[in-house]
Structure 1
Amino acid sequence: MKCINTSCTILFESPYWVGIFERKDDEEYSVSKFVFGKEPTAPELYNFILKSYPNKLRYIKTENNTDEIIRKKINPKKRQREAAKAMDEKGISTKAQQTLKIQYEKNKKQKKKISKVKKQELEKKKFELKQEKKKQKKRGH
């Protein structure tokens, strides 16, 4: 039998309250994001989990599921510099947020490709229409 662990983290990402749902089972780790809007109360959260939880969330699987880090011998001073640099960065902090960011970027690229193709088709259609009008004018009355 599979063991599935699910956790929910409620964050305030200006101007909305956001819930990040993480799901871990034996083989994979997946994450989903849901925007609540105003701050959810405990009864609203409970109601959401009981009724809307399975229907409104689309989980995204992570590509690299390994949490293991391969350690090489690194100069201690270099390790210290890298640690200081990592502490200075104000980036995405959790694995769930990183996964969501990666998925967001992928969706963004796909939308750009689709809109580019649509734009090219529209321009082609306009060009053909102009050519057709030109031919009509040349024919005479």
Structure 2
Amino acid sequence: MQISVSSTLTVYHDGQFWVGLAEHVEDGRYGVARVVFGAEPSDEEILQFVINKWKKLLFFGDEPTETSKPARNPKRRAREASKALKQPAVSTKAQRALADQRETMKRESARKRSQCHAEESEARFEQRKLKRKQKHRGH
């Protein structure tokens, strides 16, 4: 059994910050994570990031992707690499995955907010009920 793994880190400036876009394809599953560096990272800082923090990145998404086998021909690999460099920094697949990740986080936080609001409302109702009971008893 052979597992295909491919990872790419693209560092670009989004107008305000330097951002790293980590794309990871493993066994047909595509994941993406966005990392904000802030100031322009040096090559050494990027290397340290990959060595120390790559394992901690959370790659989201379970959509199967069409992965091609790497070409054995070095000229073909060079052509594919130059073609990849000419493409925009953020792929549409990565943008979709990040948007899905944001939507998931938004739904989860809305669910938590709703649950918290319901608990607070229930606590206020219990407090009012207790207060009415105490008033009724003449305390």
* Aligned-residue offset at 1:66: 5.0
Aligned twin of 1:114: 112
After TM superposition, the structure 1 stretch with the greater mean CA deviation from structure 2, 125-134 or 28-37, is 28-37
Shift in Å, 1:124 = 1.1
- Which residue matches 2:121? 123
RMSD of aligned residue pairs (Cα, Å) = 2.0
Q: Which amino acid aligns with 1:65?
A: T
For the residue of structure 2 that corresponds to 1:40, the secondary structure is: coil
CA contact (8 A) 2:29 2:64 kept: no
8 Å contact from structure 1 (residues 62, 99) kept in 2: no
Q: Give me the TM-score of the superposition, normalised by structure 1.
A: 0.72
Scaled by the length of structure 2, what TM-score is found? 0.73
- Deviation (angstroms), 1:14: 4.4
Q: Report the residue type matching 1:58 in the other structure.
A: L
Partner residue, 2:47? 46
Q: 2:138 corresponds to which residue?
A: 140
Distance 2:106 2:123 in 1: 26
Asked if 1:61 is matched to 2:61, the reply is yes
For residues 80-95 of structure 1, what are the structure 2 equivalents within 5 Å? 94-95=92-93
Judging changes above 3 Å, is the alpha-carbon distance between structure 1 residues 140 and 6 closer, same or farther for their aligned structure 2 residues?
same
Q: Judge conservation of contact 1:19–1:33 (CA < 8 Å) in 2.
A: yes
Name the aligned partner's letter for residue 58 of structure 2.
R
Structure 2 unaligned spans of 5+: 68-89
Counterpart contact for 1:28–1:62, Cα < 8 Å: yes
Report the CA distance between 1:93 and its aligned residue. Answer: 5.1
Distance change (3 Å), C-alpha of 1:62 and 1:100 = farther
Shift of 1:62: 3.9
3-state DSSP class of the match of 2:28? coil
How high is the sequence identity, in percent, across the aligned residues? 31
